[in-house]
A and B are shown apart, each in its own frame.
Chain A
Amino acid sequence: MMDGIPDIELPPRDNNRRETLKTIASAITGSALLSTLPWLSPLKAAPAGKSPSDKVRLGLIGTGSRGQYLEEHLLKTPGAEIAALCDVYPPHLQAAQQKIGKPVTHYKDYRHLLDDKSVDAVIIATPLYLHAPMCLDALAAGKHVFCEKSLALTIPECKAVARTASQSPKVFQIGHQRLFHRATLYALQQVKAGDLGPITQIRAYWHRNVNWRRPVPSPELEMLLNWRVHRKYSAGLMTELASHHLQVANWFLDSPPLACIGYGSINYWKDGRDVFDNVNVIYKYPKGVSFIYDSLSSNRFYGLELQIMGPKGTLELETAKFYAENPPPAPGIIQLINQIERGTLESVALADRSWVPDLKKDTKGTPLPEDPDHDDGTGLSMAAFVNAVRLGEKSPAMIEHAYRSGVAALMGVIAMEEGREVAWPGGYA
């Protein structure tokens, strides 16, 4: 452990997840930070043994790209057994089945999977519009639920899922892996320690240069495979991408947004889609702090980044670096050389000092500790979910994160679609 942060180092090769989790458990136990990160608590439990009673039997609903990514992690998670699969698209189902390497029960209708009494918990990795009905049905069927982000397609649905999850005795977890990401946990520690001073602004962007479409074997599968670009099934860039950064903003500012305004349009991919291909939203948080977000589908030069800024420094979480506003001085010899260079090369003034533009500081920054296996947090989030189910350990904070980020993303969508300021709609209770 270092500076009160759980030392969640994974070994270089991920061939013994059981031993890894034992190491994590011992590191997390007694961590001072644990009280503020309750969703990490299940990781302190000893990993499951090999007896069948120690196994958590999981049903994977949705076996597309994200579902299969979660499946790969689950196959390496001690105590996890994928007992059933469900998808309406046979090629995805077949691919997921092959990854397991042995035949498991599979369903086309998720309600039949929920009727399977041998399944303890479900992993929901389906299109956004299905999240709410599936979560509600699963909780009603007495299943523990892991639901991929974002929480739901509408704010009333978000409220319904969060309310039901909080009232249910079952575990509910959302797929915001940054809650388990090592560098992000260190960054939070830096913020709490005052390394940035008070947060004065958060800025995030996610830029891609793709049309977001998948190849469709026949036209009737268009809505099924390209649901992301159709408003009836998706809320577009805000729920698919921005919700991740909104979750971190809510977390680091310890509050949901008060309100937001924004503009969005379809300015490049005019291919029949009805979700924006570019979004630009400003969220207002308490204490005069703003979160500025934009996402593009037509330029990838700047990629993605999340910048947390204060008077003493900047954290860039996607590249896991901290930049001090006043970095320690360069070594003496370098300063001397620079002084000699300045004396010989810059003797002619180009302009008055006030003209000099405030260009970006070219500092290298201090790297935040990252997971040696480059786990983005998904591996640990799966392990935490399985342990939470095994221990029956609910985390209300997890439901709050799911609700706040899901609703904040939808506030942005409404602000852009209706051209007005959208206020925080309150809690779900």
Chain B
Amino acid sequence: MKTITLPLPDWRKEAILFAACLVLAIGLNVYAIATFQTPWAELVTEMPVVLALALLVYTLLAAGRIAGYALKHLIANFERKNTGRKS
């Protein structure tokens, strides 16, 4: 049986990525407050919604990254098998 070694996540990279998502969500909140002319207090009061939004974006990104990684892995395997047959 082949042993598969999964690399540990790079926590620093993930934290930066989540912080970027958070900044994006806060930016959307600022845009929404300005557009819909609601109270600026919502910068604080709507923080749970902003956090949830940031988490959602981060999760979507993570899903995309995992899918990308899996696709890359499959292509590499496919190419390796094809190269083996030719030689």
Contact = CB atoms under 8 A, between A and B. Distances in A.
A334 B31 CA distance: 12
A333 interface: yes
B45 interface: yes
Q: DSSP majority for the A interface?
A: helix
A101 interface: no
Contacts of B35: 332, 336
Which size class do A's interface residues fall under? under 10
Interface string A328-340: 0101111111000
A331 B35 CA distance: 11
Which size class do B's interface residues fall under? 10 to 19
Interface stretch (B8-16, B46-54, B68-76, B77-85): B46-54
Contact of A335 (B32, B45, B50, B53): B32
A329 to B, nearest CB: 7
B42 A336 contact: no
B23 to A, nearest CB: 15
Contacts of A331: 32, 38, 42, 45-46, 49
A335 B45 CA distance: 15
Given A331-B45, A331-B46, A331-B49, A336 B28 contact: yes
A331, A333, A337 interface centre (most CB from chain B within 10 Å) = A333
Contacts of B37: 332
B85 to A, nearest CB: 45
A343 to B, nearest CB: 14
B59 to A, nearest CB: 16
A329 B50 CA distance: 18
B28 A334 contact: no
Interface of B: 28-29, 31-38, 42, 45-46, 49-50, 53
Given A329-B38, A332-B37, A332-B42, 14 more contacts: A331-B32, A331-B42, A331-B46, A332-B29, A332-B33, A332-B34, A332-B46, A333-B29, A333-B49, A333-B50, A334-B46, A335-B36, A336-B28, A337-B53
Interface of A: 329, 331-337
7 contacts: A331-B32, A331-B46, A332-B36, A332-B37, A333-B28, A333-B50, A336-B35
